[in-house]
Each structure stands twice: as C-alpha cells, then as structure tokens.
Amino acid sequence: MSGHGTPIPMTARRAGPLRGAAHVPGDKSISHRALILGALCVGETRITGLLEGEDVLATAEAMRAFGATVERLSEGDWRVQGVGVGGLAEPETVIDCGNSGTGVRLIMGLMATSPITATFTGDASLRSRPMARITDPIALFGAAAYGRAGGRLPMTIVGSADPVPVRYTTPMPSAQVKSAVLLAGLNAPGQTVVIEKEATRDHTERMLAGFGAEITVEHTAEGRTITLTGQPELAPQSIAVPRDPSSAAFPVCAALIVEGSDVLVPNIGLNPTRAGLFETLREMGADLAYENPREEGGEPVADLRARYSPAMQGIRVPAERAASMIDEYPVLSVVAAFATGKTEMVGVKELRVKESDRIDAMARGLEGNGVTIEEGPDFFTVHGMGPGGMPGGGTAAARLDHRIAMSFLVAGLAAQKPVSVDDAGPIATSFPGFEPLMAALGARIDRTNR
C-alpha cells in the first residue's frame, strides 16, 4: 500500500507550453461504489473504465475478503460476482484500506448491519484520520466499534445481528458519512433516512437507484432528505465509469498557468456535486470551455478545453460551493498563486481532516515557494503573484497526500525556479499514469529532488 515504500522525490520545472489531449483515469468515488454495490448483487456486474489506483484496488481486495469474486479481465474492465444484500462473509484477516478514507468508511458502513466482525487498518495517513463520524451513526444501527484513542484505526467493527433502521442527520458535509449510513441501511429492515444540510456528491444515491434499490431524495426544511428501503434485492449492472473531474483538475490547472498552453481533457463527468472547481476557475477568468456537452449513463459529461489564462483574478469562493470542490482546493490554491489579487477560500475546515491537513500542507508548501498566505481553522487565503510570479525553489512535503504532491508539481511547471515534492509515491492512489500523461503534454517533471 502507498506510503510504505521508499519515498519518490520529484521536481517540476518551467518549460514550453502544454499541448495535446489528456486522458485522465476513471472516477475514484464511482469506482469504489461500483465494486461495493457489485459485491452486494447475486450475479455478474461488469465495470469498464474502473480506476486502477491503489485506493480502489484496496477496495477490490476488501470485497474479496467479504466473499465476493472480483476479477480483472483487462485494463479497466472488471467483473464482480456478488454475495447478495445480507450475504457478506466474515473476513479471515485484517482489511488494509491503504490510504483510502472513502474505502474504509464505506466498507465499515456496509458491514455494520451484518452479524460479522472485521478489523480495519491503513497507512500512516489513514490511521491518523477520524472515524467517529462513522462509528457514531453505525452504533445507532446496533454495531459496536473498538478502535484506538480518538476513534482511530486500527479498529474492529462488530456488526449488528439484529439491525434497526436509522434516521440520521450528517453533522458535517460528507459524502462518505452519508454513503456509509445508506450502505448500512441496505441490510436493515424498514426505511433508513439520511439528511444532509448541504448537498454532497450523490454517486451513492444514483448508483443505488441504478441497481434497483428503492431510494428517494426530497428537499425539505431540514435539508436534502434521502430515504432508502432496506433489504432490497439488487440487480447486477453494467457500469461505465466516467473520467474523474478531480484528476482532470491537474492538467486543466497546469494549462491555465503555463504560458501558451492549450489542453483538451475529454469525457469528464460534470455532475454538479463535483464541478465546483471549474465554475470557480471560470469566475476567476480562466479560458476553460465545456466542449461537446452530453449525457452519459445518467451523468452530464463534456470535454474540457483549458488554455493559458494570464488574466485570472482572485475571488472569494463561496462556502456553499465547498462540498462540490472539496478535493480541488489544493490545486486551486496553486492557480490562485498565479492569479492577480487574493483568493479567499472559506468554509473549508473539512480540509484539515483529509489525507493530510490540506490547509497546513498547502500553506507551508506555498510559503516555502515564496507565496504569502493567511489561514485559520476554517479559511485559507492565497495572495496571487500574477502570471509567472511564483518564485518557486522550495521542496514541499507531500504528507502521504496524492493531491498535495500533484498540486506542487503543477506549481513547478510555471514557477520561476523548480518546485520539488519530497514523495510523489502517493499519486498512485488516485492517478496512476500522472507522470507519462503530463510528460506527453510537454511538462518537465522528473524523479529528482533538484
């Protein structure tokens, strides 16, 4: 799993324009969910375009441990023979979710309403992340959790033999928490209700409906209210995973800040619960077009074309947009450093409990490359230095966080001096092929620390 190997330092240098097409990998959120729901059907689910990053491979392995047959037929093409809702087997050994918060949290929810016990662990990043946000709601279903101090992994979950349905309002905007409760609700009798005050990515709801579950979404005074009828029989599906907007963010943002660039990023899922970054960039004045907009598999999809955008201005990113771009603040803060004026990011305290404390990781890394920032528990402000303005010359600590590593490598493509990251190994969790993809566009990124 990531973070257990020898560090891979990398350095990015300013070079010529980035040009060409960037075919980014499949969506990470959808890939996890496709494997998990496939494991709950009796019969064969086929998945194409699956992200073969370490996070998703850990979920595939976990589904095998719970009794499903999960096979890779060819690149991105996978087959899952599931066990049926209520049919999970008890794993014989510890489930290692690597770096993946989504994997571990969804699977803890999934098993919480089955009469089995499982122990979960992960890498140093995952072992430091809070799990009470999952163990609190699954306790309401009747599950018990025994973990380290502060609700950390390793942790053992004893699933409920006699689960009851739950009505739960998520205390923070989190698709992982919402999804864990819905997956737990699948094996509880009656109706499980999840209410979220702010909409978060809705892939679980869409996919549950696609697999034949009875699920409704209403907007009430309390918020977005999702009602799931438990113990359905899920029907196997064919799922074509769209390409990941969170991965598309890196070549898109690189093109906006590298002089003369013109990059096409085809087939990107533009589900409104995921597209906040692109809206923000356009507000900043980015030359970013949605070409060939269409619907695929019930999701809006387009080809993104990003061109060098020296006229970008800093803005205040509204807090209401945070959930729809929560994974994109690191790379947005790099773009902000090359814009004119300041960019204020507010309502972003969830960034402190991601794969790393992303506010701190970006703040220290940007400062080390000559950028002025301000930060607080729930906000982050970057003072833009204009096109080509970032001095660079620093080494950022990636902190086992793929998006921190990729963000600083993007910065180095436009900064005055090279920018290094101490360990780019975690990029393999979500974006295998990042290095050759960027190289094919003309980026200069090499495996040195300068």
Give least dist CB 188 to ligand S3P, A. Answer: 21
Residues 9-38 that bind ligand S3P (CB under 6 A): 29
Stretch of 134-142, 172-180, 227-235, 307-315 contacting ligand S3P, by CB under 6 A? 172-180
Q: Which stretch binds ligand S3P (CB under 6 A): 71-79, 175-183, 268-276, 298-306?
A: 175-183
Residue 327 annotated among the catalytic residues of the structure: yes
Q: Fill in the per-residue mask, 189 to 208: x = in contact with ligand S3P (CB under 6 A), - = not in contact.
A: ------------x-------
Q: Which stretch binds ligand S3P (CB under 6 A): 143-151, 169-177, 208-216, 442-450?
A: 169-177
Where does 187-283 have alpha helices with state H?
203-210, 245-257, 276-283
Considering only residues 244-283, where is the footprint of ligand S3P by CB under 6 A? none
Q: Is 431 exposed, middle or buried (0-12, 13-18, 19+ CB in 10 A)?
A: buried
Pick the closer one to ligand S3P by CB: 249 or 326: 326
Q: How many CA atoms lie within 13 A of 69 on its CB side?
A: 8
Least distance between ligand S3P and beta carbon 102 (Å): 4
174 near ligand S3P (CB under 6 A): yes
Partners of 79 in the β-ladder: 46, 71
Rounded to a whole number of angstroms, the minimum distance from the CB of residue 32 to ligand S3P is: 6
The verdict on 136 binding ligand S3P (CB under 6 A) reads no
| Among residues 327, 328, 401, 423, the one that binds ligand S3P under rule CB under 6 A | 327
Tell me which stretch binds ligand S3P (CB under 6 A): 134-142, 171-179, 312-320, 381-389.
171-179
Contact window for ligand S3P (CB under 6 A) among 170-178, 282-290, 297-305, 377-385: 170-178
Give the residue from 282, 340, 277 showing the smallest Cα distance to 313. 340
Q: Look at residues 84, 275, 91 and name the one whose alpha carbon lies nearest to residue 187.
A: 84
How would you classify the pairing of strands 262-269 and 19-21?
A: parallel
Closest separation between CB of residue 134 and ligand S3P, Å? 10
Measured in whole angstroms, the distance separating CA 344 from the mean position of its chain's CA atoms is: 22
Identify the active-site residue in 327, 357, 378, 401.
Answer: 327
Question: Which CB atom, from 175 or from 249, has the smaller least distance to ligand S3P?
Answer: 175
From 173-181, 262-270, 375-383, 442-450, span contacting ligand S3P (CB under 6 A): 173-181
- Integer Cα distance of 226 and 38 in angstroms: 21
Alpha carbons 282 and 307: distance in angstroms, whole number: 12
Identify the residue whose tokens are 């990003």: 306
Of the candidates 11, 31, 113, 179, which one interacts with ligand S3P according to CB under 6 A? Answer: 179
- 112 phi, psi to nearest 5 deg: -65, -20
Residue from 83, 108, 326, 366 that binds ligand S3P (CB under 6 A)? 326
DSSP labels, 107-159: HHHHHTTSS-EEEEE--HHHHTS--HHHHHHHHHHT-EEEEETTTEEEEEEE-
| Least distance from ligand S3P to the Cβ atom of residue 356, Å | 12
Distance from C-alpha of 6 to C-alpha of 311, rounded to nearest angstrom? 41
72: helix, strand or coil? strand
DSSP, residue by residue, 294-350: EEETTEEEEEEEEE--TT-B--EEPGGGGGGGTTTHHHHHHHHHTSBSEEEEES-GG
**Closer by beta carbon to ligand S3P, 321 or else 354:** 354
Asked if 350 is part of the footprint of ligand S3P (rule: CB under 6 A), the reply reads yes
Rounded CA-CA distance 246/325 in Å is: 8
Neighbours of 250 (CB within 10 A): 26
Nearest-approach distance from CB 175 to ligand S3P, in angstroms: 4
Residues constituting the chain: 450
Residue whose CB is less far from ligand S3P, 202 or 287:
202
176 binds ligand S3P (CB under 6 A): yes
Q: How many residues bind ligand S3P (CB under 6 A)?
A: 11
Q: b or e along 179-189 (b: 16 or more beta carbons within 10 Å of the residue's beta carbon)?
A: bbbbbbbbbbe
Q: How far is the CB of 324 from ligand S3P (least distance, A)?
A: 11
Helices (H), ranges, 44-123? 54-65, 101-111
Beta carbon nearer to ligand S3P, 237 or 324: 324
- Tell me: does residue 175 bind ligand S3P (CB under 6 A): yes
Does residue 96 touch ligand S3P according to CB under 6 A?
no
CB distance 111 to 159 below 8 Å:
yes
What would you report as the CA-atom Rg of the chain, rounded to the nearest whole angstrom? Answer: 21
Residue numbers at the binding site for ligand S3P (CB under 6 A): 29, 102, 174-176, 179, 201, 326-327, 350, 354
- Which residues are annotated as catalytic? 327
